[in-house]
Amino acid sequence: MEPTKRHFQALLASKSKAVAVFLDVCKSRSNREGFIKEMQKEMSKYNHTIDIFGKCGSKTCKRKTSATCSWRLNKQYFFFLAMEDSISSDYVTGAVLPAFENNVVPVVYGGADYSKFLPPNSYLDARKLGIPKLVKTMVDSINKRELYHEFFRWRNHYVVRESPVLDACVLCDRLNQKSWLLGQHAYHNFRKWWLPEYQDKCSASGNFW
């Protein structure tokens, strides 16, 4: 991909804070709050902090609109934690959009293969990297702006948009494919077929780093 344009690099020049997260639900099935706590410890080794906005943290936006939060993300922060409340395959919510909309690099935390949904090298996958490597990658990018600019090369080639809730045309096309109509299938335990690991997800938080 082409290098990040100079005029876009100028838009990133005012950033000075490491990472922000918007969090109003303080206990999740994905145990993202536990991940953030451990990540905070690792960040402190480099004299950086995670700013938590919302009911679960000490930071608030001055106005009751999203405009101020967006401005602060855009102008002040290098990274944004886009953390799902459940770890499930192909489960990606709009949590990642504030980062892309405000020129911040998202740190994703979920069970999806994000390469199917997001532009290449536009994000950091927290669960794949693990906390020590994740934090070091972030700090290195903060200290060396050339590395940080690499996260935005995709903007020369891609546009990120929120997908519709249901694409009825695709559903209709799939239902009319012959392969779907041949044979019969019966699933006596639908939940196990649909989500084989559901018992693990419901009964244990698991290791996340």
d(CA 136, CA 92): 25
Question: Is the Cβ–Cβ distance between 50 and 187 less than 8 Å?
Answer: no
pLDDT single digits (tens) 107-138: 999 999 999 889 999 999 999 999 999 999 99
Per-residue pLDDT reduced to its tens digit, 9-30: 999 999 999 999 999 899 999 9
Q: What does the domain layout of the chain look like in residue ranges?
A: 6-156, 168-203
The residue that leads in pLDDT, 69 or 143, is: 143
Nearest to 88 by CA among 196, 207, 203, 209: 196
Helices marked H in 12-84 = 32-44, 66-76
Percent share of the chain, pLDDT over 70: 86
Residue 51: predicted pLDDT: 95
* Rg (alpha carbons) of the chain, rounded to whole number: 20
pLDDT score, position 208: 42
Task: State residue 182's pLDDT score.
Answer: 64
Residue type, 108: V
Q: What is the pLDDT of residues 130-183, one digit of tens each?
A: 999 999 999 999 999 999 999 999 999 988 887 766 667 777 877 777 666 666
Strand 77-83 and strand 105-109: the pairing is parallel
pLDDT in tens, 191-201: 777 777 766 65
- Burial zone of 99 (CB within 10 Å; 0-12 exposed, 13-18 middle, 19+ buried): buried
pLDDT at 88: 82
> In angstroms, rounded to a whole number, what is the distance separating the alpha carbons of residues 13 and 88?
36
pTM: 0.79
* 3 vs 162: which has the higher pLDDT: 3
Task: Decide if pLDDT at 104 tops 60.
Answer: yes
Kindly report the CATH class assigned to 6-156.
Answer: alpha beta
Percentage of the residues of the chain whose pLDDT score is greater than 90: 57
Q: Are 129 and 140 in contact (CB under 8 A)?
A: no
pLDDT at 166: 67
Largest CA distance in the chain: 61
Q: Kindly tell me if the per-residue pLDDT of 102 is higher than 60.
A: yes
